[in-house]
Amino acid sequence: MSSPVPGKIPQHVAIIMDGNGRWAKSRGLPRLEGHRRGVETVRTVVDAARAIGIRYITLYAFSVENWKRPPEEVSGLMGLLDYFLKRELDNLIKNRVRLLTIGRTTDLPANVQRELNRVIAATQDFTEWTLVLALNYGARTEVADAARDYAAAVSAGRENLADASWENFSRYLYTGAAAIPEPDLLIRTSGEQRVSNFLLLQCAYSEMVFTPVAWPDFGHADLQAAVDEYGRRERRYGATTEQLAAAQKSHL
């Protein structure tokens, strides 16, 4: 296996935080305890991302499909989210980490929305590091919302269908509206190898790493291993290796 390219750090890493429930079950613990331990992992990974030099971390925290889970589990997840936001505000401010969200957050409980708005407002001026929480998020829902907003813009004369392009349309995605760059690297923990309706359009050219490590056990070394794997990949975007090499030489 080739060595990672020195200094090749992804600007944006998106993570599907999977395995909390299975982690708990394997230890004879309630599922909610797995989610609680997963919340602790978030701080670990955000700190690790800063140490490695990753500027954006997007975490798939709650999907539009997660409402189908038992009501007591959904209630517990919302309580943990409220707890995380209250606990982490001082830490985010100390480390100058901005919080952003993507998804239909207006459907979340009122107390969670209040905390989200409070933390977002308190960290909005930070630009070096960004934590993005995908909440009540689904890529298909995002596309539907973007298509509605794009159609409204066309109807109002703000967009011209003759100028339709990915660049123009992508501005109406949740990520485009928040000026979040497309992920360079997508990580899924706990062994599953699917993207589960997460950033489907934005990850069109993302490198993907699937790790067997459950989210509660995922730490700095695991994130570094995924970044190292990313450093071994060649991102061609449809070009050939020879074309990339020639382009790199022309910039020297």
Percent of the chain with pLDDT over 90: 90
What pLDDT is attached to residue 5? 73
Residue pair 93/121 in contact by the 8 Å Cβ criterion: no
Which among 18, 136, 184, 222 is annotated as catalytic?
Answer: 18
pLDDT confidence of residue 235: 77
Residue list for the binding site for Mg(2+)? 18, 207
pLDDT at 64 over 80: yes
Structure confidence at residue 234 (pLDDT): 87
Residues 6 or more apart whose CB falls under 8 angstroms from that of 141 comprise: 64, 103, 104
168 is catalytic: no
Q: Within a domain: residue 191?
A: yes
Give mean pLDDT, residues 110-117.
97
45 lies in some domain: yes
Of 66, 95, 168, 197, catalytic: 66
Residue 226 inside a domain? The answer is yes
What integer best gives the mean pLDDT of the chain?
A: 94
pLDDT at 244: 55
Domain assignment present for 1:
no
Query: Token pair for residue 114?
Result: 């209040």
Can you give the residue range of the structural domain that contains 149? Answer: 12-250
Answer yes or no: is pLDDT of 245 > 60: no
In whole angstroms, give the CA distance from residue 38 to residue 98.
20
Residue 7: inside a domain: no
Q: What is the mean pLDDT of residues 59-69?
A: 97
Mean pLDDT of 61-74: 96
pLDDT in tens, 16-57: 999 999 999 999 999 999 999 999 999 999 999 999 999 999
| CB contact at 8 A, 233 and 4 | no
For residue 242, what pLDDT is reported? 59
Q: Summarize the annotated binding site as residue ranges.
A: 18-23, 31, 35, 63-65, 67, 69, 188, 194-196, 207
Q: Is 91 a catalytic residue?
A: no
Number of domains present in the structure of the chain: 1
pLDDT in tens, 124-172: 999 999 999 999 999 999 999 999 999 999 999 999 999 999 999 999 9
CA nearest 169: which of 182, 150, 153? Answer: 150
Which residue, chain included where needed, has tokens 């909610």? 32
Residue 36 domain flag: yes
Question: Does any domain span residue 6?
Answer: no
Identify whether 184 is part of a domain: yes
Residue 144's CB: how many other CB atoms inside 10 A? 11
pTM of the predicted protein model: 0.92
User: Does position 243 have pLDDT exceeding 70, yes or no?
Assistant: no
Residue 2 has pLDDT above 60, yes or no: yes
How far apart, in whole angstroms, are the C-alpha atoms of residue 92 and residue 173?
A: 26
Binding residues for substrate: 19-23, 31, 35, 63-65, 67, 69, 188, 194-196
CATH of the domain at 175: 3.40.1180.10
